[in-house]
A = this chain, B = another copy of it.
Amino acid sequence: MKRYKLIVAYDGTNYSGWQLQENAPTIEGVVNEGLSRLLGQPIQVIGASRTDAGVHACGNVAVFDAETTIPGDRIKYALNSLLPPDVRIMDSEEVDDEFHPRFCDTVKTYEYVILNTKDPLPMRRLYTYWYSRPLDVEKMRKAAQQIPGKKDFKSFCAAGAQVKTTIRNVTDVRVRKEGDLITIQVKGEGFLYNMVRIIAGTLIKIGDGSWNPEKMTEIIESKDRTKAGPTAPPQGLTLVKIEYIG
């Protein structure tokens, strides 16, 4: 048995998220199906990040074990020919059989994109969150700077999520503006359920003037989900990459 690692990109629009479900299309489902067809044996991948319905990825990571003579770097091409056009393998390689996509130390990079204009082009609608009221990027930056650190981010965790601890290490939060697009880039060693979308929803509340930038620290310290902003919608979110460290 050999272990293979895949870098998986997808347009999440038409999927009920990454994780396998009985009666709904999922990324995990189509990747399993493609691999099983390609290799002629039932394959079950393990994904690094179980992204939600409608969320996109440039670089999710999945591994699987199989008996095959196809070289690791060729699996990408063979598998892409069997996958639907909205799911693509960006890279494939054989890895050590100790490698586990979820239990290794990682830095994940997410981006949340807001289309900040009165008149949104329909070509943007699947990959951005349209917010028509003007957002003050400087205020959003001021607030973003208060986020990084190893902290209890309970305020940014979806209510009802089952986790042992709500402490996470966020290493960087940046806000950039290009034309009418505002991108919130968040890096960290792990995230709580809906965390990046709640951070985005909170930064929007600050950008539109509803709250002061200083409120960010207060929100984090409150450890109270109801103090933070709403969960911004899924189509603005993309899992950009996962770096394995150490």
A residues sitting closer than 8 Å to B (CB atoms) are 9-11, 56, 58, 85-88, 90-91, 119-123, 125-127, 238
Contact = CB atoms under 8 A, between A and B. Distances in A.
Majority-rule SS of A interface residues = mixed
A84 B126 CA distance: 13
Nearest to A127: B123
A159 to B, nearest CB: 29
Nearest to A90: B119
A56 B88 contact: no
**Most chain B CB atoms below 10 A, which of A10, A56, A87, A126:** A126
24 contacts: A9-B121, A9-B122, A9-B123, A10-B122, A11-B122, A11-B123, A11-B125, A56-B123, A58-B121, A58-B123, A85-B122, A85-B125, A86-B122, A86-B125, A87-B122, A88-B119, A88-B120, A88-B121, A88-B122, A90-B119, A91-B119, A123-B126, A123-B127, A123-B238
Contacts of A125: 11, 85-86
A88 B58 CA distance: 28
A125 B88 CA distance: 11
Nearest to A118: B90
Contacts of A11: 122-123, 125
A9 B120 CA distance: 9
Given A11-B123, A86-B125, A91-B119, 17 more contacts: A9-B121, A9-B122, A9-B123, A10-B122, A11-B122, A11-B125, A56-B123, A58-B121, A58-B123, A85-B125, A86-B122, A87-B122, A88-B119, A88-B120, A88-B122, A90-B119, A123-B127
Nearest to A80: B119
A44 to B, nearest CB: 22
**Most chain B CB atoms below 10 A, which of A10, A122, A126:** A122
Nearest to A238: B123
Contacts of A123: 9, 11, 56, 58, 126-127, 238
A220 B91 CA distance: 42
